[in-house]
Amino acid sequence: MKTPEEEIGISVYWTDGIPGIGGRLKREPEDFVVEEISRLPPENADGDFSAVLIKHRNWELNRLVRRLSTNLRIGRNKIAFAGTKDKRSIATQLMTFKIPLEALAAISIPDVEFLSVYRTRTPTRLGALLGNRFRIVVNDVQPEKIENRLESVTSEILQLGGFPSFFGVQRFGVTRPVTHLIGKAIIRGDFEKAAMIYLTEDTEYEATECRKARQLLAETKDFKKAMETFPSNLVFERTLLNHLSKHPTDFSSAIEKLPKNLVMMFVHAYQSFLFNRILSRRIERKIPLNEPIEGDVILPQDRHGLPDHRRYIPTTSSNLERVRKQVKDGLGFVSGSLFGAESVLAEGSMGEIEREVIGEEAIERRDFIVPDLMSASSKGIRRELIAQVRNLSWSVDSDSVCFYFELNKGCYATSLLREYMKSEMRDY
C-alpha cells in the first residue's frame, strides 16, 4: 500500500540518512506566517486600479476572492493576485482591484486587514511576485539531539544549494489530497468522474457533516437532495451541485461554473504529481540535482535571479562543461518536466525517466488540450529540481522550533520542512 506521500508522487527524502525532529505544523494559523515578496506596481493617482497589501488569517484564497467579490459587488475578473497562500496561516500579499479606493474603505471582513492602499495603472497578475518570506513554528518536536539534527540537515541543504523542489501537499489538498485525481480525469475528458471525485471523495480529516453529505451523494447521485445536505461552507461543491441539480448529465458545464483558476489548479496538480514522481525517480537513481548530465534541460537565470521558465538550454556533449559551470555559478538550474501540450522533454537518463513516468500514466501531449473545457488546457513548462532557500535560521524552544527563511515563488515551505521533520504527511 502506498504512503500518503507516495500518493502525491513523493517517495524519497534528500536527507534520508538523518533522523527527523518530528513535530507538527499549523497547530494555529499564527504558527505559519508568510509574507509575499512582491513586484509592487508603481503608484499613479490617475490609475484605474486600486493596489492593496492585504493581510488575512485562515482564509483559503478562492473563498476570500469570492467574499471580496460579493462585498464589493464586482466580478471576480476585477480582482487580481500574484500568488496563492496556505489557508491555515497568516498571509500578507498584494492584490489589485478595478474599483475606486473609496469602495475598499467601506468594507469589513473578519480576519482581513488592508495594510496599504494606493492607485496604479498596472494590475498585478498570477506569478508576478519574486518569492515569499516565512516564519514557521514546528510544535511537539523530539528534543533528543535536536540541534545536531537541525545542523546536519542544514549542512546537506547548503551543500546541495537548496532542497528537492517537490510540490507540497497544499497543491493537492491538505484535508482531501484529490486535486491531481480530478485533473487526471479532466485531461482524459471524463468530466463526470472529475465532478464526482470533487463532490464525493471524503477523508477522515473532514468534518462529519461534510463526510456524510459526500457519502450520501456517492450512494444516491441525487444532486437536488445534495443541495439540501451539503454544508454551506462547501461553496464550490455547491456551485457544481446547483448546475447538476438542473442538468444532471452536463458535467463539463458544471465544472466550467467553477473559478477558472480553480479548474486550472486541478490540471496543474496532476502535472505536479507527475513532476514529483520524476524528481523522486531521479533521486532514487542517484543522478545529481545540482550538476547537469548530458541530455538535461537547463533553465537560465532571469533578470531577477530566478529560473527563467520560458527559455531552455539543452545539455549536449559539446556544451556540457560550460553548462556545468553555469549551474555551479548559480546562473542556471537543472529542470524536470511539468508535462503538457507543448512540453520539451529531456534526453539521456533524465529523458528516460520523464518518458517512463509519462508512459506509465498512459498520457500524451494532446491530452492536455481539452476541447470541451479549454480553460483546463495547459501547454506545460519545465521546473527547477532544486528550490533555493535564503536567510535560513531557526530558534529552539523546549518542544518547538521556529524556522525563518525565504523561498522563490512557486516553492513550498513544507517541502523544506519535511526534510527536517520526517513526520507523517498530515503533520505538515
Least confident of 85-94, 289-298, 412-421: 85-94
Is 269 in a helix, a strand, or coil? Answer: helix
Residue 174's pLDDT is: 82
Burial degree of 337 (CB within 10 A; 0-12, 13-18, 19+): buried
Query: Could you tell me the strand order of the sheet in which 332-338 lies?
Result: 313-314, 297-300, 332-338, 381-384
Give catalytic status of residue 86 as yes or no. yes
- Is residue 428 predicted with pLDDT exceeding 80? no
When pLDDT is averaged across residues 247-269 and rounded to a whole number, the result is 94
Residue 200's pLDDT is: 97
When pLDDT is averaged across residues 349-357 and rounded to a whole number, the result is 98
* Ordered DSSP codes for 26-81: -SSGGGEEEEEEE-PPPB-TT-SEEEEEEEEES--HHHHHHHHHHHHT--GGGEEE
CA-based torsion, 365, 369, 370, 376: positive or negative: positive
Element holding 212 (H helix, E strand): helix 208-220
Residue 261's pLDDT is: 86
CA distance 96 to 123: 6
Residue 71's pLDDT is: 93
From the candidates 31, 86, 202, 367, give the one annotated as an active-site residue: 86
The tens digit of pLDDT for each residue in 40-68 reads 899 999 999 999 999 999 998 888 999 99
Pairing label, strands 49-57, 163-164: unpaired
CA distance 109 to 64: 9
The tens digit of pLDDT for each residue in 180-233 reads 999 999 999 999 999 999 999 998 889 999 999 999 999 999 999 999 999 999
- Is residue 426 predicted with pLDDT exceeding 80? no
The tens digit of pLDDT for each residue in 410-421 reads 999 999 999 999
Per DSSP, what are the bridge partners of residue 223? none
Burial degree of 116 (CB within 10 A; 0-12, 13-18, 19+): exposed
When pLDDT is averaged across residues 391-409 and rounded to a whole number, the result is 95
Mean pLDDT over each residue of the chain, to the nearest integer? 94
Contact 353, 296 (CB under 8 A): no
When pLDDT is averaged across residues 17-41 and rounded to a whole number, the result is 92
CA distance 80 to 94: 9
Residue 86's pLDDT is: 85
